[in-house]
Structure 1
Amino acid sequence: MALRAFEKADYDLLIRWIDSEELNYQWGGPNFNFPLNRKQLDDHCAKPEVIPLVFVHKGINAGYVELFKLSESKSRVCRVFVSNDFRGQGIAKLMLQQLIELAHIDHNAQVLSLAVFERNTVAKKCYESLGFQVTSHQSGTRSFGGEPWDLLLMEKWL
């Protein structure tokens, strides 16, 4: 089990995983249009503050996650995704544990933040189990299909 750099050769993998408009919105918020494509990924991954990663479990690509550098001591966990074949196996927690260690050791992060849709209770429980705490609640800033999707902002001090 290890995180490795997400590369152009992995674009099609992520494009296959993000296979619906709703999943695209849950994963990428308003930053990506569905269907996800190589140009969107190329433009996004070219940003110097974006550190995109693939989680490999038993030799198989199992998930995707980003570390987004906000400052020298603050980073943000973004776009957490676990492949359907690995859901319900604790892969997200393993992937995030490695990301937290990477953020702290390799990127000197003192604080990690993230945003999760309130309706994504499985993800929220996973983040809480890793020590993230809700710091604020945003209503009315996001919606999908005419339905509001409230955001929870969470933080963890390292």
Structure 2
Amino acid sequence: MYLRQFSVHDAPEISSWFSSREESLLWGGRVFSWPIETSEIIKRSHQKDIEFLTLSSGSDVLGFIELQHVSLNEMRLCRVTVSPKFRGQGVGKALVTLSLEEIKKRKQYQIVTLAVFAKNKTAYNCYKSLGFIAVDKAPKFKDFFGERWPLVQMEISL
């Protein structure tokens, strides 16, 4: 398994990983519409201060992660996901671990942050197992269709 830069050819595969609006919201919040359009992913990949990486093995795309350059010393992990074909096999942990290693190589970042919905227990436990800690920062929830979804803000020092 290795990390590589996102290619526009990855977008159709990634957009196919979400079978419901709830899955889409858990992953992308309001950043993408439902159903997720390939063109939306490609358009976002061109935004300044955002970097898309994929976890790959041979020709398979196993996972996807968005890195947001928040400041000179903070990087934020967003939109972390694993292909449904590879879930439950440690791929998410490998994706985040390799992403942290890539961020460390850049030597300027001292902190990596992320937010995870409280109901996404699998992701929360993955981040916690890698050393991320919950911190008391806003936002603490997002509203979707009249429902309030609690968010956990997390960070790790490099």
Residues 38 and 58 from structure 1, CA distance in 2 versus in 1: closer, same or farther, beyond 3 angstroms?
Answer: closer
Deviation at 1:58?
A: 5.3
2: CA distance, partners of 1:107 / 1:48: 20
- Misfit runs of 4+, over 4 Å: 137-140
Q: What's 1:7 paired with?
A: 7
Distance 1:139 1:38 in 2: 28
Conserved 8 A contact 1:137-1:150: no
Paired residue secondary structure (2:44): helix
Give the aligned partner of residue 149 of structure 1.
149
TM-score under structure 2 length normalisation? 0.92
Q: How does 1:116-135 map to 2 (within 5 A)?
A: 116-135=116-135
Task: Count residues with an aligned counterpart.
Answer: 158
User: Is residue 10–residue 61 contact of structure 2 (8 Å, CA) maintained in 1?
Assistant: no
CA distance in 1, matches of 2:80, 2:140: 22
Moved more, 81-90 or 34-43: 34-43
Q: Secondary structure at the match of 2:106?
A: helix
Question: More helix per residue: 1 or 2?
Answer: 1
Letter in 2 for 1:57: S
C-alpha change, 1:12 and 1:156, in structure 2 (3 Å) is same
The separation in 1 between residues aligned to 2:112 and 2:139, in whole angstroms, is 22
Q: Specify the SS of the correspondent of 2:35.
A: coil
Map 1:82-97; keep pairs closer than 5 Å: 82-97=82-97
| Distance in 2 separating the partners of 1:11 and 1:33 | 14
Secondary structure, in 3 states, of the residue corresponding to 1:108?
coil
- What TM-score comes out, normalization by structure 1 length? 0.92
Unaligned residue ranges in structure 1 (runs of 5+): none
